[in-house]
């Protein structure tokens, strides 16, 4: 079996960029997408990392994603930004939001960006985190193709629909980031088991009849079990409202695959909310967060959510990214021999 390949973060970025440019994506969009995929890979989120390059490239090549789209926006009310991702990749639209929303929030105290004509938005927490680095408390809601059934039902209607949240901490600390799918496990773990021909533990998925299954094929054909049973299914519905209905985008069960080049654009939606916590708390926020974090970290062995992600990020900065040979080969086939010179 060929060995995994290690690249520096810069190399990995240039490699992914070259592959996307070769697949009919503009240089600017390829830069935005590659940056997000490398960041997810560095954060230990391989499912949103470089493994996506080949499927993104297939979609850009076939025109399912417009690799040359330039996101556009309007401001229909003082605290609202409506962003049209132009059926291109989601990341350039998020770049626009992360750039424009802080100015709006400085005026109004809270702001919302509704992104339509969008696509796979990757590591949800990373978008929130960038807003928190600018001093804002932020939520991101986005949907994904169907995988979870309404409680009591057998037909998948909702995506695994993450809830992502970030809040600034004291000077010099990375923001608190909470980013969780409302399914008990990520769908990628069932996909991996399916590819490897392995069974899955009970409690991950239900088959098409709504019965618990340990068969990965049956799980992929059926539905993902939500956290907290009825509660997780309700949270998936909440995210569906926030990501799709509030924006005017595809519902999970209408969206096409984010993996193949065939079919219509998935036309997903995302909503970003950002709040100025200094304004809402009249200056009390910083002390309140310090008190909260100190209480959490006072108990031995207890850490903030996201700590493992920050460790992975630091390790990747030191040691680079080690990616499976198969993923490297997929990207290399697109990027060509001369990508280092591109």
Site for a second copy in 110-139 (CB under 8 A): 110-112, 114, 137
Residues facing 165 on adjacent strands: 139, 178
**Site for a second copy contains 16 (CB under 8 A):** no
Distance CA 208, CA 193 (A): 18
Alpha-carbon Rg for the chain, nearest whole angstrom, is: 20
Q: Name the helix (H) or strand (E) containing 297.
A: helix 285-297
Chain positions 147 to 166 lying near a second copy, rule: CB under 8 A, are 150-155, 157, 163, 165
**Site for a second copy contains 221 (CB under 8 A):** no
Whichever of 193 and 247 has its CB closer to a second copy, that residue is 247
- Per-residue binding string, a second copy, 24-63, x by CB under 8 A, is ----------------------------------------
**Site for a second copy contains 234 (CB under 8 A):** yes
Residue 233 CB, shortest distance to a second copy, in Å, is: 8
Residue 244 DSSP class: I
**Site for a second copy contains 259 (CB under 8 A):** no
281 Cα distance to chain centroid: 29
Q: Which of 44, 47, 109, 320 binds a second copy (CB under 8 A)?
A: 109
Strands of 110-118's sheet, edge to edge? 72-77, 80-84, 110-118, 268-275, 137-142, 163-167, 176-180
Residue 139 CB, shortest distance to a second copy, in Å, is: 9
Cβ-contact 158, 244 below 8 angstroms: no
**Site for a second copy contains 303 (CB under 8 A):** yes
Distance CA 196, CA 147 (A): 20
Whichever of 122 and 306 has its CB closer to a second copy, that residue is 306
**Site for a second copy contains 291 (CB under 8 A):** yes
**Site for a second copy contains 145 (CB under 8 A):** no
Distance CA 19, CA 57 (A): 7
Q: Which of 90, 251, 268, 316 binds a second copy (CB under 8 A)?
A: 251
**Site for a second copy contains 167 (CB under 8 A):** yes
Residue 90 CB, shortest distance to a second copy, in Å, is: 17
Chain positions 67 to 86 lying near a second copy, rule: CB under 8 A, are 76-80, 82
Q: Quote the strand ranges of 223-333, DSSP E.
A: 223-224, 268-275, 321-323
**Site for a second copy contains 209 (CB under 8 A):** no
Which residues does 340 contact at the CB level (< 8 Å), separation at least 6?
11, 14
């Amino acid at each position: 079996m060929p060995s995994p390949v290690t690249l520096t973060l810069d190399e990995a970025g240039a490699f992914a960029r070259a592959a996307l440019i070769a697949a009919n994506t503009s240089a600017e969009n390829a830069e935005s997408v590659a940056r997000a995929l490398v960041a997810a890979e560095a954060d230990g989120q391989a499912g949103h990392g470089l493994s996506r390059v080949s499927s993104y490239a297939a979609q850009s090549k076939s025109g399912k994603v417009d690799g040359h789209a330039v996101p556009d926006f309007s401001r229909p009310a003082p605290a609202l930004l409506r962003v049209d991702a132009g059926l291109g990749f989601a990341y350039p639209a998020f770049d626009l939001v992360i750039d424009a929303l802080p100015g709006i929030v400085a005026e109004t105290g809270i702001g919302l960006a509704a992104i339509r004509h969008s696509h796979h938005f990757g590591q949800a927490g990373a978008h929130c985190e960038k807003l928190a680095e600018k001093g804002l408390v932020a939520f991101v809601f986005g949907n994904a193709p169907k995988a979870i059934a309404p409680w009591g039902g057998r037909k998948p209607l909702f995506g695994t629909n993450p809830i992502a949240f970030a809040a600034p901490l004291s000077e010099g600390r990375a923001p608190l980031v909470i980013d969780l799918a409302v399914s008990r496990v990520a769908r990628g773990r069932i996909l991996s088991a399916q590819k490897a021909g392995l069974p899955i533990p009970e409690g991950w998925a239900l088959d098409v009849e709504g019965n618990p299954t340990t068969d990965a094929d049956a799980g992929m054909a059926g539905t993902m079990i939500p956290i907290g049973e009825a509660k997780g299914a309700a949270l998936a519905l909440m995210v569906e409202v926030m990501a799709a209905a509030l924006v005017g985008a595809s519902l999970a069960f209408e969206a096409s695959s984010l993996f193949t080049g065939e079919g219509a654009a998935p036309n997903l939606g995302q909503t970003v909310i950002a709040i100025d916590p200094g304004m809402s708390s009249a200056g009390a926020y910083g002390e309140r967060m310090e008190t909260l974090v100190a209480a959490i970290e006072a108990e031995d062995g207890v850490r903030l959510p996201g700590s493992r992600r920050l460790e992975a990020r630091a390790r990747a900065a030191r040691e680079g990214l080690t990616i499976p040979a198969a993923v490297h080969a997929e990207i290399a086939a697109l990027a060509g021999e001369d990508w280092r010179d591109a």
